Structure 1
Amino acid sequence: MRYYFIQFIKLLFSTTLFWSAAFCLYITIRYFAIGAEEGLEITDFSFINLLKYGLYLGVLIGLLYAIIEFVFDKFIIKNLSLAVILLIKFVVYLVGMIIFLSIIYSQAEVEIDLNLSNDLGWWQQNKVFWLLIGYFIICSQVFTFIKIANEKFGQGVFFNFLIGKYRKPREERRVFMFLDLKDSTKIAEQLGHYKYSKLIQSCFYDLNRIIGRFDAEIYQYVGDEAVLSWTYKKGVKHNNCVKLYYKFLEQLKRKEKWYLKHFGLIPQFKAGLHGGKLIVTEVGTIKKEIAYHGDVINTTARIQGECNKYEESLLISETLYKTMYNLHAYNINSIGEINLKGKESLVKIYAINPV
């Protein structure tokens, strides 16, 4: 609950800031472009007051926008089609704009003596209102685009994409986790390809609900495997890379009745952890994306591949383990130095289990 509250506050802050700036920009453009509105001359004095109403409207729309987006993203979006979601949102926002503008029009008419019509149904023939709706739709698309881009590339990565930070290969220090469904071949044969696909979809949906709590980013999905990434500092901070794994298992355990009802099983996942320096760069011109190149990726995948051999669920490299701050809440067992496929030198790994 605390995590959802923090997420909502962050969303509320961003939406309020965005819509306040958007409506103040709208008022500024209209003021300097026209100079008069609905038969009224707008003085320099009234312009400052109009900006105040832009802030009022921005705060109200920002609050409504945050509530609607949060509720749909967390509780509704999985169960409805995109067309239905867009229709419902448009109706809610339209009603919200009518109510909020009616309130603001009433205050503006009294406080700064503007001859604004606010009779019942005033908005139906009001050109300014429908111009505002069009402006709202355009700004909403901009906000949604930025939001989707941040979800696609990770928080802050989209901005780096825009400024061309990864146009040339750059070296970074990161932590990676390869997370894979146990007994995937057996489960796929048992469920059939359609139900198996629904199972993977549900598991990764549950995974996405918790990654933000541990500052993780989804690098890519490969079949029944998810590759997660952190900056090195965020990955080791508070043992985020380890805590996320066990929080994910806890999330699946909490929904065990639901998984048993729909799939007849409780999904179990194994994971490998490793970190170090590697290269980050843009690749492709069509479906362009940020790619990571280096031994860290390959080693992490090989470590995860050893889980079945040693009958462990979570394995970590010694390189990463030695940089973790406090793992007293876990049992750490040395597996020893092993020869990972494709590597010349031996790699020492450890198994991590809850106390």
Structure 2
Amino acid sequence: MRLFLRLLLLGTLIGVAYNSFIDLIFFTGSIFPRNLVGAIDGAAITAPIAAMETFLLRTRWGRPLQQAPFLVTFGAKWLVYGTIITAVIAGEPGTRALGLTPSAAPLQSPLARLAVLFSFVAAFAFLFVFEISQIVGPRNLRNIVLGRYHRPRVEERFFLFLDIAGSTSLAEQTGPAAVHRFLARVFRLASDPIADYSGEVYQYVGDEMVVTWTVAEARSDARPIACFFAIVAALHEVAPEFEREFGLAPRLRAALHAGPVISGEIGDSKRDVVFHGDVMNTAARLEQATRDLDRSFLVSTDALSRLAATERYALEPLGPQALRGRAAPVEVYAVSATR
């Protein structure tokens, strides 16, 4: 919903800005009525487009388009969005809402054609950036463009390591192609809970997914812990579908750790933002320890101490655990969804 509202606000502001620009060039006198027209038209154009991006494409009807090759997805969206733009401009909702006189042939006027052209270009730019951000990650793209990590910086972060249990045996039974489909579907189902709890997918490594938060993003409502259980719930809901297609339902093992890391850009032909530090290694070792301790979700005290509202979860103290590669043991809790 937050993304929908942000897109709606952006479209409204673009409509106001465009009409203000047109008024400065072609008109004199008060710009208030036309600015209001621009706001209404911008909102009318953006609302259905934003609804499709944030709601429809997440349903089973929209997933085939979202999962199609880049050019197919991009071209189909641009065609649909272009049709919406043309229909809204022809309908003149802003003019009619304010009780002004609509044009007899709205698409025949030069200004209307200019508005259609501008909207198509704006839609193209938005779609291109939006689709690319889905490939490299919205925050990763923003951070690279703004140069936030151009110089390395120290920051406190949470890292949630998620391992998909059973993928190795599935590979032995059905082959690598089926495993790829299995993992792709699991990671896709996990993406909505991760976004809902303000997480950022850092990387996929085989059958593992690494999700990260800054301390400020994670602290409220123990978001990393809530995110894990939301992913578990999402996978449980579709477990029968997985069992029919693959012969098993996905199960998760996970570990959460927090602490200081070095964050910075690397690469030349391909840039990326990476994180270095003992926190990463410890989180990975904790995830491996879930097998030895026979627990599905382990959280370190370093992570728990940085979170608020953890009292809603059942915390089982497991004491200090010796982890490979670390001299000092780590105090660990097993976390369950309810007390």
What is the rounded CA distance, in whole Å, between the counterparts of 1:112 and 1:177 in structure 2? 56
Instruction: Call closer, same or farther: CA 1:353–1:232 in 2, change over 3 Å.
Output: same
What is the rounded CA distance, in whole Å, between the counterparts of 2:94 and 2:305 in structure 1? 65
What is the rounded CA distance, in whole Å, between the counterparts of 2:130 and 2:84 in structure 1? 22
Find 2:126's aligned residue among 119, 132, 143. 143
Q: Which deviations, in whole Å up to 9, do the C-alpha atoms of 1:114-145 show, x marking residues without a partner?
A: 8x442xxx63x555444333311221233334
CA contact (8 A) 1:153 1:290 kept: no
Matched position secondary structure for 1:265: coil
Matched, 1:272 2:237: no
Q: Which deviations, in whole Å up to 9, do the C-alpha atoms of 1:216-263 show, x marking residues without a partner?
A: 111111111100111123324322222221221121111111111111
CA contact (8 A) 2:85 2:120 kept: no
Matched, 1:43 2:31: no
Code of the aligned partner of 1:24:
V
- Specify the alignment match of 2:92 in structure 1: 104
User: How far apart are residue 20 of structure 1 and its match?
Assistant: 2.6
What is the rounded CA distance, in whole Å, between the counterparts of 1:102 and 1:43 in structure 2? 24
User: How far apart are residue 292 of structure 1 and its match?
Assistant: 0.5
Q: Which moved more, 1:157-166 or 1:179-188?
A: 157-166
Code of the aligned partner of 2:92:
I
Q: Please list, as runs of the form range in 1=range in 2, the aligned pairs for 1:148-297 lying within 5 A after superposition.
A: 148=131, 151=134, 158-297=141-280
Q: Which deviations, in whole Å up to 9, do the C-alpha atoms of 1:9-42 show, x marking residues without a partner?
A: x234322322233233333444444x3xxxxxx3
Aligned residues between the structures: 333
Instruction: Call closer, same or farther: CA 1:59–1:340 in 2, change over 3 Å.
Output: same
Taking structure 2 as the reference length, the TM-score comes to 0.86
Code of the aligned partner of 1:65:
I
Q: Which moved more, 1:172-181 or 1:64-73?
A: 64-73
Instruction: Call closer, same or farther: CA 1:127–1:190 in 2, change over 3 Å.
Output: farther
CA contact (8 A) 1:68 1:89 kept: no
Taking structure 1 as the reference length, the TM-score comes to 0.83
What is the rounded CA distance, in whole Å, between the counterparts of 2:94 and 2:298 in structure 1? 64
Matched position secondary structure for 1:44: coil
What is the rounded CA distance, in whole Å, between the counterparts of 1:257 and 1:63 in structure 2? 35
Matched position secondary structure for 2:92: helix
Q: Which consecutive residues of structure 1, in runs of 5 or more, have no partner in the other structure?
A: 1-6, 36-41
Q: Which moved more, 1:262-271 or 1:309-318?
A: 309-318
- Specify the alignment match of 1:299 in structure 2: 282
Code of the aligned partner of 2:117:
G
User: How far apart are residue 88 of structure 1 and its match?
Assistant: 4.6
What is the rounded CA distance, in whole Å, between the counterparts of 2:282 and 2:94 in structure 1? 65
- Specify the alignment match of 2:36 in structure 1: 52
Q: Which consecutive residues of structure 2, in runs of 5 or more, have no partner in the other structure?
A: none
Code of the aligned partner of 1:133:
V
Q: Which moved more, 1:264-273 or 1:95-104?
A: 95-104
Instruction: Call closer, same or farther: CA 1:58–1:181 in 2, change over 3 Å.
Output: same
Matched position secondary structure for 1:141: helix
% identical equivalent positions: 24
Matched position secondary structure for 1:260: helix
Q: Which moved more, 1:228-237 or 1:194-203?
A: 228-237
- Specify the alignment match of 1:66 in structure 2: 50
Find 1:25's aligned residue among 13, 17, 27. 17
What is the rounded CA distance, in whole Å, between the counterparts of 1:242 and 1:87 in structure 2? 38
Q: Which moved more, 1:279-288 or 1:156-165?
A: 156-165
Code of the aligned partner of 2:36:
K
Matched position secondary structure for 2:324: coil
* RMSD, aligned α-carbons: 2.8
Matched position secondary structure for 1:175: strand
Larger radius of gyration, structure 1 or 2? 1
What is the rounded CA distance, in whole Å, between the counterparts of 1:236 and 1:15 in structure 2? 26
